[in-house]
Structure 1
Amino acid sequence: MTATTAKAVEIDGQTSFVAVPTQAKLTNYRWYAFECCAVYYVTLEFPGGAGADLGGINLEQIRGAQPAFYYGAVPVKAFIGTPRRQGKSVEVQAKFSHDARSIDVRFESAVKPGDVVTIAFQTGVNPPEDIYTFSLTAVPAGPNPIHQMVGVIQMEIFEPMY
């Protein structure tokens, strides 16, 4: 990771946010079970007064008929902006845990407070019909980061109507 641009808040040698991101959204423009070409977009509005740069996120699936990433690790990219208004790319590393139904995403260069960042998971194929729910945690950039809960995001996958 590169040096942070915001002065990080340190508590007992750990990096923390002053203001935790609270605006998050999960978008999938493919709504049907087993539909191809699916991309899951997680968009996070990072507050200007966060007190630390954003070093990454963690998604943990807490509901769904099967793991949303059933087929394993998928290509992941990130960018400043929203799915329909993509800006500068942000290099990422993603670690998938099938058993824990979680994904740990780290940004190669931290995201600055005030930015909107989107992480795109190119899943390829949607899972079966259900409501898929994830807890989202933000990770500040810096030494010994304290992961902080952002909230819960979800997407609904429908049975195809033929």
Structure 2
Amino acid sequence: IRASRTNPLTIDIDASLVNVHSDKEGAQRNYKGGYGYSPMIAMADYGKTNGTGEVLAVRLRPGNKAANSAKDHISILTEALEQLPDEFYDEQTTLIGEKIMVRTDSAGATREFLKHVDSLGLQFSTSYTLPVVKEHFVRWINQKKYWEPALTADGEHRNNAWV
């Protein structure tokens, strides 16, 4: 109910590895040498004091399933949004996107997924690894004037962490 553009509900989307020790239906080898599943999970986070980490949706996937599947990200986000209370929709049952931020790691930084998130009017935060071919392309990164200190969930500065 308290979610707003400046203080949005965050939906974290991430895949995880779940190892199994016997042959199970749908289990597969994963990129880390294990065997099992790679479920994709969407969780609600509303800050340290209000956040519950409540699971909104889970999609069980084989262990060899790629983490950066745009189709899976879109699907799990759709399921997660369906779990939100009526306060996240207007009178015409249209999602009030500015009250929600979707957060992923670099696996969610696909054009298809981010275009979908943008089409819903949602805020988003994701990481992305830049391909570096030559050192001179990234020399500017070492200049602190382009960086800001990273903050903890409490708003405190993290030691030796910059964004």
TM-score bracket, normalised by the shorter chain, equals: under 0.3
Greater RCO structure (CA 8 Å; 6+ sep): 1
**TM-score (normalizing by structure 2):** 0.28
Structure with the larger strand share: 1
